[in-house]
Amino acid sequence: MRRGIVATALVASLALAATACGGSGSDNGGKADGPVTITWWDTSNATNEAPTYQALVKQFEAANKGIKVKYVNVQFDQAQNKFDTAAGSKGAPDVLRSEVGWTPAFAKKGYFVPLDGTEALADQDKFQPSLIKQAQYEGKTYGVPFVTDTLALVYNKALFEKAGIAEAPKTWDELKSAAAKIKDKTGVDGYWGSTQAYYAQNFLFGEGTDTVDVDAKKITMNSAAAKKGYGTWLGLFDGKGLHKADTTADAYAHIQDAFIEGKVAAIIQGPWEITNFYKGSAFTDKSNLGIATVPAGSAGKAGAPTGGHNLSVYAGSDKAHQDAALKFVKFMTSAKSQETIALKNSTLPTRDDAYTAEVKTDPGIAGYQGVLAAAQPRPALPEYGSLWGPLDTELPKIAAGKESLDKGLDNAELAISKLVPDFSK
């Protein structure tokens, strides 16, 4: 999951927006009885995932002769700003693969069609309820869950076995102990943590808290419980078998590469890396990949953030395009389509009936399905995803010893208070 959102130039945004049909209703070849052409902005990986979606588009067109789909792959870290610009000028695509954090924000602006009662949500009871919940804003549903993800403790079973560790650690203290044993027995580090705020969410949830309490309208990432969680997070960068914090721009790649090559025994990671795990020398035997629920904090309960993407329909297009878009969304989120996507891309389906026996032969998918119970849905707060920005600035400084935990959290709290000005501290 490449979670950063990068600002893009207005010219680039408008250029891409020009490829979308939006509300023009004119892209049927000028013929009233011609096919309706809808535009889909897909934000998936252009190399590993997009070919599967392009093949499904062709299947949809073959089954729906009156609809054409203009497929556009948009780089994930540019898509939010591009869509925001395009929708504001009435030139957005008819369907967007919207990251779950974007959905309430765009719904608040009126850019998405409420899908309740439409054919796109005809199978609503087949989807995991928590995923439907995080596609909602103010009681209405603005996206159909397309793919989901969460974080898990992924580990090298062979290295754990060499260290005499029979099962994955269930608490952070157990993880520290395991890391030391692995270092003693194998010579490699047992755990390498991330300084990114998204990955630190596990430590907040383990203390029964979050960055904010939406119901109480209160900023909580600097509370006593949160400080305890961040203190545990910080303590996992120093000790036997614990890799020191990497605060470089390439930290994500460094951690991932070390894991797949067997140079570190465990990391926290999401299912978007399943295909890349298997490309590493440590996991040529897929069964060597261990996947477990993230360790629990002192509250005794483990929790991980829920990510993923919804398919949402643009509210600025005409009825013909919206109707075609709804039909397309239903097709792409069907059990058959989700099974195909899971088999080809090793991503997690959002509906239970897509976890077929064949899908679950992939140990990565089966493993991540087993940890979904610990995934916590995001609150319907449009600004929620933006709250990690200030923490992404401060946490690396804390981990590198450049500022204290208290100072860094104070700085982050001040920045977050500007993002949610009606929330108290």
pLDDT tens track for 58-111: 999 999 999 999 999 999 989 999 999 999 887 899 999 999 999 999 999 999
pLDDT of res. 380: 83
pLDDT of res. 29: 41
CA dihedral 279, 282, 284, 289 (to 10 degrees): -100
| Distance (Å, whole) CA 152 – CA 363 | 14
pLDDT of res. 4: 38
User: How many CB atoms within 10 Å of residue 14?
Assistant: 14
In angstroms, the Cα distances linking 10 to 77, 79, 99, 105 are 15, 12, 21, 20
Question: Residue 296: what residue type?
Answer: A
| Distance (Å, whole) CA 246 – CA 226 | 22
User: How many CB atoms within 10 Å of residue 215?
Assistant: 7
In angstroms, the Cα distances linking 180 to 53, 165, 266, 278 are 44, 11, 12, 26
| Distance (Å, whole) CA 354 – CA 41 | 23
| Distance (Å, whole) CA 231 – CA 210 | 14
pLDDT of res. 7: 34
Task: Please name the residues in contact with 24: beta carbons below 8 A apart, sequence gap of 6 or more.
Answer: none
pLDDT of res. 104: 92
Helix (H) or strand (E) holding 140: strand 140-141
| Distance (Å, whole) CA 108 – CA 105 | 5
pLDDT of res. 89: 86
In angstroms, the Cα distances linking 164 to 12, 178, 179 are 55, 9, 12
| Distance (Å, whole) CA 414 – CA 319 | 44
| Distance (Å, whole) CA 218 – CA 351 | 33
In angstroms, the Cα distances linking 397 to 185, 187, 391, 408 are 32, 28, 10, 8
In this structure, are residues 147 and 349 in contact, taking their beta carbons and an 8 Å threshold?
yes
| Distance (Å, whole) CA 385 – CA 88 | 20
| Distance (Å, whole) CA 392 – CA 158 | 33
| Distance (Å, whole) CA 410 – CA 408 | 5
User: How many CB atoms within 10 Å of residue 178?
Assistant: 24
Ordered structural domains, the chain, with CATH: 10-149+306-376 (3.40.190.10), 151-305+382-419 (3.40.190.10)
pLDDT of res. 28: 53
CA atoms within 13 A on the CB side of 258: 22
Name the stretches of the chain with pLDDT < 70: 1-33
Q: Is 184 helix (H, G, I), strand (E, B) or coil?
A: helix
In this structure, are residues 283 and 178 in contact, taking their beta carbons and an 8 Å threshold?
no
CB crowding 94-112: b at 16 or more within 10 Å, else e: bbbbbbbbbbbbbbbeebb
